[in-house]
Chain A
Amino acid sequence: MTELAQNLIDGLGRGSIYALLALGVAVVFGVMHLLNFAHGELITVGGYVALWTLGAGWSWYIVTPLIVLSAVLTSLAIERVAFSRVRGSSDFTLLLTSFGVHFVISAIFLLYVSASVKPFDRPSWVTNTYSVGPLNIEVYDTVVILVTVLTLIGTTLLLQRTMFGLSLRAAAADFDTARLMGVRSDTVIRGAFALSGLLAGIAGVFWLMRAGSISPGAGITPMLKGVLAALIGGLGSLRGAVIGGLALGLAEVLLRSRLPDSIASLTEGVVFLLIALLFIFRPQGLVTVKHAVRV
């Protein structure tokens, strides 16, 4: 029982980060039908910002907003340079464009910074734990979960209460109709990329605090988790993305602690197997998105 509770807390901490990443992926997918394989690069950029600023002796309190800001700006820049040119193209083109962006960004760091893994200082409290009864809870997980909840509340308010949120949800439901109703596609798409960058930035701060290092390929894993979580939740559903992220985090933690030692290192493989089974039996993901058929 204690172990299960412990797993749940750890899983929620991990899943919260995935949820933020997946939500960022889903927001962009909603307005552009683009699955952004370059999403993880927002964290890579933030990582190098952290490396340089922390190296210059700045504190995490200043660096944190800089990481978030860099992610937002990078997201907007990518939209401007690459994605705005392929709007309305086929899925194939969109997917490979984002894949190409991913590679160009990581190759630039490879070329001009270094291929090796560069460490930086983590904030001192990241590894601290405190006890509640029999449970050992990480300060880090607590902060992650709290911030994620606040972020999700903020995002919900933004989507429910503002004109921008309304346009974004309308565009996600049916982009063409939304445009006919007067939603400005440029504004909505850029807004979606900014929001996606913001969410990736917040997730990135935590990701980097935990990792304590950065390398050109560091964006790959968070990208995969975000994209997979969005898919598990049901592509196109914002709620599904959050659920998918939490589910993925919980599944990873639970499996790692429950699998026999001999195959514990293959957790990722087992998780994938579960995902594959999920898609065989429930191909639309956890949350069903109803699309009107137009014929």
Chain B
Amino acid sequence: MFPRPGRDIGFPIAGCALLFAVFLAGGLIYESFQGRAAERLVTVMLIDAIIVLGIQIYVGNTGVLSFGHIGFGAIAGYAFAVFAISPEEKLKRIPDAPFGLNDVLLNPALAVAVAIGVTVVVALVVGIGLARSGAESGAVAATVITLALLFVTHEVARNWPDLTGGNRAGLTFKVGAALDSRLPIYLCLLGALILARLFAQSRSGKLAVAAREDNLAARAMGVNPLVQQTAALLISVVVVSVGSSLRVYENGSILPDDFFFNYTLLTLAMLIVGGRNSVTGALVGVAVMTVGRELARRLGQDGFEVFGLSLDAGPLDWIFRENLQTVFLGLAMLGFMIFRSDGLLGDWELDAWLWRRWRRRIPEDQPEPLAEVAPVGLHAEVDREGAALEVHDLAVDFGGFRALDGAGLTVAPDEVVGLIGPNGAGKTTLVNVITGIVEPSAGWFKLGERELTGAPSHDIARAGLLRTFQNLRLFGALTVRQNVELAARVAVQHRPGSHPPVDALIAEAGLWDVRDRRARELDYGSARRLELARAAAMAPAYLLLDEPTSGMSDAESAEMIGRIRHMAAAVDAGVLVIDHDLNFITGISDRIYVLDQGQVISAGTPDEVQADPAVRAAYLGAESDAEG
């Protein structure tokens, strides 16, 4: 099922080749007009592009802002320089180099490999801290750590002259020994482009994007963001290392300030101006900012004479000064963040656009509906008798408030069980506990023989408990189809057995006509149905539906009952549905539990529960009060 060779591999590679050709052609044409003066500008632009693409792999796919990638660049740059500079040159700058590094000399390709190795090791350590604090305190904490990394590499580079040549001397290649051909740059840029695009289309990239769009929802469907973010970090650091080595080689030297604040600002500005969520955007950003900066530099130097106008620039002298380009970068960053934070292109990709145009010529038929009872049960291999969902005696305290107080219930594999109770009864808390979002202070729950109490969300989802959310958590920037496909990707890896076909699920949810629409553009009812389809795509053992009809009209609710029952039967899942609407719950459930103040006060068939005086007192009483 995945990857689809055309969409996920062929088109991206072809698209990257096309992008590369256009980008390079632009540079070469400019060069042919401006002569040798422009040669270095174009070379620098090509190298900047490699580094920006490297940053894009992490920042774009994970949504975590990193200032540290230039710090990684510094580590790679110094490692490259130390290994690629000849011992005679090193003797002049760093005669006391530690670890016998003075006598080492590798050819440049090998030195790049060493640089990658060293940087990846550092990235692995930093990455664990990043992912852990990011998961705990949000992306902001991760960003501060990257910022600290940038400062520390700079600080170490300045204060360890035995290794780095210190703040003034730095490390220098022998004159004339620097990079003299552009071929390696071309190859690396093309490679970086393809790697960035393929990663974005890969399973890991897609899952990272899911966590970017909604971390909690991603975890609740079996994605472990820690793993995906670390994967993205390592790949991005490899690309940044290559780019940084080339930058040092091309410069012929390295100083601490080469990889510090100004370069961070430049590369980040390039990334966000073009559009951080798109590889095409990153490249466009590099081009736009290179042109803009060059213009600002020349305006700063020569005023309007750049354009051959003999305007008296005197009155405007206060603008056209030496450091205009730094102001330009800062303002560009600020302006885009305030007015167009997704950059010029948003998440538009050349190859995806070409793919859509290509596919439009082939009509897609509405898929066959899901069979009511799958011909071969999806979980036929599972012992159905022993696969009940058992929740026993759960307690949860929020400060002094006891949200759950010994609640328990059981759902059998082919049952639809309703959980009902007034607002604040603890219904959502119960679902939060059995999906690993809230930790219980007492009690346990297990699926079949497997105890899941205290397991992380993604493990619980992989075990087969899939939920929807009361307040809708879709991956808004992704299309309807991509939302469902994501779940299917996780299912293929973590849920053994056969899987419901993605297209059929989309059709089943009544979303076939809007399958290429972004999830955030859907109306309320469609969004609810998409969440259901997404959960069903995981081939769950149980669907946990948190108020699946809230905000719907009575007619829509009635229709939803049929849909839920049918879809659950088709993917062979039990259902636990919670709501405060008595009509809906009695309409959909085989059995009902009634929750009040954190305790189960009644259980039984819909008729039994409705007749129970305790329920009337607690639940219907509360409701008639509210209405009265």
Contact = CB atoms under 8 A, between A and B. Distances in A.
Contacts of A272: 148-149, 151-152
A280 B126 CA distance: 9
Interface string B123-140: 001101100110111111
A283 B132 CA distance: 6
A110 B265 CA distance: 15
A91 B145 contact: no
A220 interface: yes
Q: Size range of the interface on B?
A: 35 or more
Q: Size range of the interface on A?
A: 35 or more
Contacts of B438: 293
Contacts of B143: 35, 91, 95
B605 interface: no
Given A85-B338, A224-B148, A279-B129, A235 B141 contact: yes
A275 interface: yes
Give the interface SS of chain A, mostly helix, strand, loop or mixed.
helix
Contact of B334 (A95, A101, A217, A228): A101
A58 B261 CA distance: 34
Nearest to B326: A107
| 8 A-B pairs with least C-beta separation | A103-B330, A100-B334, A283-B136, A104-B330, A100-B333, A283-B133, A265-B159, A272-B152
Nearest to B438: A293
A228 B148 contact: yes
17 contacts: A86-B341, A91-B143, A92-B341, A103-B265, A107-B327, A107-B329, A111-B321, A111-B327, A228-B148, A231-B144, A235-B137, A268-B151, A269-B152, A293-B438, A295-B432, A295-B469, A295-B473
Contacts of A100: 330-331, 333-334, 337
Contacts of B323: 107, 110-111, 115
Contacts of A211: none
B437 interface: yes
A237 to B, nearest CB: 11
A277 B261 CA distance: 25
A89 interface: yes
A276 interface: yes
A35 B144 contact: yes
Contacts of A269: 152, 155-156, 159
Given A96-B337, A104-B330, A227 B152 contact: no
B164 to A, nearest CB: 11
Given A268-B151, A276-B145, A293 B330 contact: no
A231 B139 CA distance: 12
Contacts of A99: 67, 265, 268, 333
Contacts of B160: 265-266
A293 to B, nearest CB: 6
Contact of A108 (B65, B67, B129, B327): B327
Given A283-B137, A293-B437, A96 B268 contact: yes
A127 to B, nearest CB: 24
